[in-house]
């Protein structure tokens, strides 16, 4: 396994160097250091996000199988919200503007970490039924949902006198630091559309791009991410006038307006005709909580020297981490900066990291995605020019 090729040699080298220097390094394990000439690219994951997630689900007569598939695979999305200290709210509305007008549906309407059996409730809420209008107006429905006074969307909060904001929470000033701010910034907003038809809302894409980018106010545009599970913009066969996809359960029209809006804003989308939405939902879940899955290296690596390790604070529990094949405890290290729990993630196509040559990036798949508060370290020797 490539991740282990450097580690043992590094540890031995450190011990030899310490003894030659007569160093009294104190008790505790030695934290591995890179070899001479190596690059160490580091990346920080999100800390403790606050997220408001709105699902806009098509409730027209052709959507039963889609809703069942979505409900069955929601664990792929939900695992990221439930794996750490994420302050989330989840709500659902439909594409039927005439009937629901953006009003939230389900019981309870707003799901939080305190909702009993929250995943079961989530699965129930996404089954919005199939008695809705065949004129799907998903973009307008989302706009109306944010105009409702339902308490779903959390705005900026000004902390009181003697308080500062840490991780979206107002705490006494003596618990903070000079870098903490008096204002708790708005929660991140994540909007997902699910439909087998294109959007029929009145209004240009430019209008909806402006509406959704500013739902948390001007200046908070980066706090909004859009996503969609819709029909792809593909020809079923050469010369066919129909664009979209087909399954054994029926066909889906290309969701051109959803795709254009999502791509304009840097979001992500998946095909509604996929047999399982697990991969799409997994990517959406990681994105929703601010977890990066792809990390671009600063240089082209010599693949034989490539090592990936993920460091977590000592108070992070193993279940809050990504998948590890080896977990090293450096919490007793002499140097306080080296006190971490270090995860060595697996390498591989299913639940591990791979190197993408075309993007010069490390990409994490499945359960190996680094968790909240992780510091990703990628150690390698740059490839020598021929």
Name the residue ranges covered by the structural domains of the chain.
2-45+293-380, 50-288
Sequence-ordered strand ranges (E) for 205-306: 224-230, 244-247, 250-253, 268-271, 294-296
**What is the C-alpha separation between 45 and 77, in angstroms, rounded?**
18
284 vs 172 pLDDT, higher one: 284
Contact of 263 with 226, CB cutoff 8 Å: no
pLDDT of residue 267: 87
Phi then psi for 213, rounded to 5 degrees?
A: -70, -20
- CA dist list (Å): 149 to 99, 103, 170: 18, 10, 24
Q: What is the pLDDT of residues 110-169, one digit of tens each?
A: 999 999 999 999 999 999 999 999 999 999 999 999 988 666 787 666 777 887 776 556
H/E/C letters for each residue in 8-54? Answer: HHHHHHHHHHHHHCCCCCCCCCCCCCCCCCCEEEEEECCCCCEEEEE
200 vs 155 pLDDT, higher one: 200
3-state secondary structure (DSSP) of residue 134: coil
DSSP bridge partners of 55: 92, 192
Mean pLDDT check: name the lowest of 75-84, 306-315, 345-354.
Answer: 75-84
The CATH H-level superfamily of 50-288 is von Willebrand factor, type A domain (3.40.50.410)
**What is the C-alpha separation between 142 and 328, in angstroms, rounded?**
46
Reading the block at residue 200, the tokens are 């029929």
312: left (phi over 0), alpha (psi -120 to 50) or beta: beta
Instruction: Label residue 206 by pLDDT band (50, 70, 90).
Output: very high
Q: What is the pLDDT of residues 54-105, one digit of tens each?
A: 999 999 999 999 999 999 999 999 988 886 678 899 999 999 999 999 999 9
Within 8 A by CB and 6+ apart from 267, the residues are 225, 226, 227, 228, 287
pLDDT of residue 21: 34
- CA dist list (Å): 46 to 4, 54, 302, 309: 27, 20, 29, 17
Task: Write down the mean pLDDT value for the chain.
Answer: 83
């Amino acid at each position: 396994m490539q991740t282990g090729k450097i580690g043992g040699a590094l540890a031995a080298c450190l011990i030899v160097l310490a003894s030659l220097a007569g160093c009294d390094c104190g008790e505790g394990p030695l934290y591995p250091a890179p070899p001479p000439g190596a690059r160490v690219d580091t990346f920080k994951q999100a800390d403790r996000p606050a997220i408001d997630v709105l699902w806009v689900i098509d409730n027209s007569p052709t959507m039963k199988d889609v809703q069942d598939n979505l409900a069955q695979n929601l664990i792929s999305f939900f695992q990221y919200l439930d794996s750490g200290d994420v302050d989330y709210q989840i709500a659902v509305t439909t594409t039927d503007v005439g009937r629901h007008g953006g009003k939230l549906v389900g019981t309870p309407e707003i799901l939080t970490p305190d909702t009993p059996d929250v995943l079961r409730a989530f699965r129930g809420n996404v089954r919005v039924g199939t008695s809705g209008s065949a004129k799907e107006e998903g973009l307008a429905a989302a706009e109306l949902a944010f105009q409702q006074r339902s308490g779903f969307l959390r705005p900026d909060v000004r902390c009181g006198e003697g308080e500062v904001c840490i991780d979206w929470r107002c705490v006494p000033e003596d618990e903070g630091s000079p870098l903490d701010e008096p204002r708790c910034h708005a929660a991140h907003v994540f909007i997902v559309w699910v439909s087998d038809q294109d959007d029929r809302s009145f209004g240009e894409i430019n209008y909806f791009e402006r509406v959704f980018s500013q739902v948390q106010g001007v200046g908070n545009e980066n706090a909004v991410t859009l996503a969609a599970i819709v029909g792809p913009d593909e020809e079923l066969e050469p010369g066919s006038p129909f664009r979209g996809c087909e399954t054994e359960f029926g066909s889906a029209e290309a969701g051109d307006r959803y795709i254009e809006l999502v791509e304009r804003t840097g979001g992500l989308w998946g095909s509604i005709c996929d047999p399982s939405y697990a991969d799409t939902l997994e990517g959406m879940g990681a994105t929703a909580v601010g977890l990066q899955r792809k990390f671009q290296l600063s240089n082209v690596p010599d693949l034989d020297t490539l090592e990936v390790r993920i460091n977590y604070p000592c108070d992070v529990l193993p279940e809050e981490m990504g998948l590890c094949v080896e977990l090293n405890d450096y919490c007793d290290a002499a140097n306080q900066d080296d006190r971490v729990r270090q995860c060595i993630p697996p390498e591989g196509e299913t639940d591990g990291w791979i190197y993408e040559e075309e993007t010069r990036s490390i990409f994490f798949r499945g359960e190996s995605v680094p968790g909240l508060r992780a510091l990703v370290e990628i150690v390698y020797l740059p490839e020598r020019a021929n």
